[in-house]
Amino acid sequence: MASTNNSVDRALDLLKVVARSRGPVRFTDLVTITGIPKGTLHSLLASLEAAQFLDRSGEGYRVGIGAFEVGTSMPLPASLREAVAPALDQLASKTHEACHLGMLVGSDVVYLDRRDTGEGLRFASRIGQRLPAHATGLGKAMLALLDDEEIAARCPKELPRVTPRTVGTRADLMKLIDHVRTRGYSLESEESTPGVCCIGVAVLGPDGPLGLSITVPVQRAHVDELSRYLPDLQDALARIHDVAVARQWFGSATGAIRSDAHTDGAVNL
């Protein structure tokens, strides 16, 4: 791998810290989180602010319009969001629950799109957020599409806990993955966010696993009751498959799409 520029690396790491925060981040907090000397941090923040990658207010720093412009120019997530939008719309309309589209990146889930409901599920994941795959129903569904060796390469033996209920070892994760593979969907209760449970299913896209999930407050449903949403999730997967076939037929610029598999909740795109 070619050597990288230290200043650019620091600036990008700094931008990621702010992007992954749920709100504005104060300068003092950035000093603590990043360990960057104050003088250097001031210069990096000034450059990012000048380029509109960050905005500064009295509350701290947040992501700016420049980062949005760059992020939304990435063709793959944009095309995925466009293609899956009707399926997400229908899924949210039928279930009246929060629905998410995610992509597996390394050992993390990156949330590409979501649909909210009138129930005010404020603690559901936001677009662009990244969470450890082993801590989410969506992530475990996508991991289950990989072979055991690939999962071992992505996930360390000791796994970080997001909440006290998050699975803590790769060995225990593999037991959960076996259940996901057997039943064709994953379940999660308060492993990524207190107060919510989730059911997830996965699809295999040209650039790796994608997933759909439904998230429900635990006050409204027990995790074992979420399988009632499986037909709706499978219907959404079928719609994604149909869109994929149509995009292939009309020569979509997103590349060749396989349409020869559509079984057990897994669709090859």
Domains of the chain: 6-70 (1.10.10.10), 75-267 (3.30.450.40)
pLDDT at residue 232 is higher than 60: yes
pTM: 0.69
The string of pLDDT tens digits covering residues 120-167 is 555 556 777 889 999 999 999 999 999 999 999 999 999 999 999 999
Q: How far apart are CA 97 and CA 16, in angstroms?
A: 29
Give the model confidence (pLDDT) of 25-64 as tens digits. 999 999 999 999 999 999 999 999 999 999 999 999 999 9
